[in-house]
Amino acid sequence: MADLSVTVDGLRLPNPFVIGSGPPGTNANVIAKAFDEGWGAVIAKTVSLDAAKVVNVQPRYARMRIQKEIVGWQNIELISDRPFDTWIEEFKQVKAKYPDRVLIASIMEEYKKEAWVEIVERCQAAGVDAFELNFSCPHGLPERKMGSAMGQNPELLQEVCSWVNAASSVPVWAKMTPNITNIQDPARAALKGGCEGISAINTILCVMGVDLKTLRPEPTVEGYTTPGGYSCRAVRPIALRMVMECARMMQGEFPGRSVSGIGGVETGEDAAQFILLGASTVQVCTGVMIHGYKLIHELTKQLAAFMDSHNFKTIDDFRGHSLQYFTTHADLVRRQAEARAADRARVDGMVTKDTQWTGDKFVEQSDKLVSNQ
């Protein structure tokens, strides 16, 4: 029987499935629902000290479908618009009701040391078990150097991570933006700044499409829109590639640090792929918005079935297993040439049809057909 429990950076989870920061963790009520259904951990929707500056619009989502299936999801939603003091009270309530479950605060602030330190200290005092630093929201508030505007600058990111880790006594993960040329650079900076782990990836900046009747881009708000974050199944190949790149870098430079994989997870098999590429946990956000909190039951059942099919007893038995099979294109060419040369050597001079036997080389031809030389 597969054991789905994991211990990551000292945090013990009953399974590796984590509610990703966003609407599924937007208040104490839905966080409680997630814990009641059996999710391994919950990352609350991103909070900041001054929620008054956060003003959401409606509508703020757009979907991409293939036939009736939702494969892509765009959002132009901002971080939490609820007062920080309210969040502090709700963090306390959740931890009082679920003292043994893992509650992670997602936090985002401007480039001000005192703001980051304050938000860490107050959330920590409320009992949260870890932090995820949102360096990756691709839209909204870029003029304040928040979200991906900060995450795209490794030097800035490392400095902020160092502020947070100096103030925090619980694990800290940095959430990576995919809207960058090389995700290893900000990931490396976060780890140098003291973070125990990274989360990858957040949403990909996109334009979902244009309505060919109205000629307006979607989602349309009073006739206008702004680029937003793309998620759901269609982003999974990109997310897998970036998780792989981070995990390989961390193997060599930061052994023992963790990766939380994010991007299009809707099945246990999806999760298994992220774990095979080095993830210790797997986050789900859009999947919950489409399928609901009860999705966790299918996720755990499917992941356990995968593990049983390979006789894996624990998550660590296969975590990172597939990383060894990545190499360079030049190495692929070399390997293929060597394999073809070996095939030719085996076939060269070997009788494949009865008409090829000759009397003069009969013994030599017989020897070449012997398998146990």
**Tens digits of residue pLDDT in 64-79:** 999 999 999 999 988 9
Sign of the CA dihedral running 203, 16, 104, 322: negative
Other CB atoms within a 10 A radius of the CB of residue 156 amount to 17
Active-site option among 123, 137, 195, 246: 137
What is residue 363's predicted lDDT score, i.e. its pLDDT?
80
Report helix, strand or coil for 203: coil
Q: Kindly give, in sequence order, each residue whose CB lies less than 8 Å from that of residue 270, ignoring residues fewer than 6 positions away.
A: 236, 264, 282
Neighbouring C-alpha atoms within 13 Å toward the C-beta of 196: 18
pLDDT in tens, 158-193: 999 999 999 999 999 999 999 999 999 999 999 999
Q: Kindly give, in sequence order, each residue whose CB lies less than 8 Å from that of residue 372, ignoring residues fewer than 6 positions away.
A: none
Tokens 């309505």, residue located: 211
* Known catalytic residue at 161: no
Cα 317–Cα 321–Cα 327 angle in degrees, nearest 5: 170
Q: Which CATH architecture has domain 6-325?
A: Alpha-Beta Barrel (3.20)
Digitized pLDDT (tens) for each residue of the chain, 373 residues in all: 899 999 999 999 999 999 999 999 999 999 999 999 999 999 999 999 998 888 888 899 999 999 999 999 999 988 999 999 999 999 999 999 999 999 999 999 989 999 999 999 999 999 999 999 998 776 655 556 667 778 899 999 999 999 999 999 999 999 999 999 999 999 999 999 999 999 999 999 999 999 999 999 999 999 999 999 999 999 999 999 999 999 999 999 999 999 999 999 999 999 999 999 999 999 999 999 999 999 999 999 999 999 999 999 999 999 999 999 999 999 999 999 998 888 776 666 676 677 877 877 878 777 777 767 6
Six-digit token string for 267: 């099945």
Report helix, strand or coil for 115: helix
pTM equals 0.91
pLDDT in tens, 20-65: 999 999 999 999 999 999 999 999 999 999 988 888 888 999 999 9
What is residue 142's predicted lDDT score, i.e. its pLDDT?
58
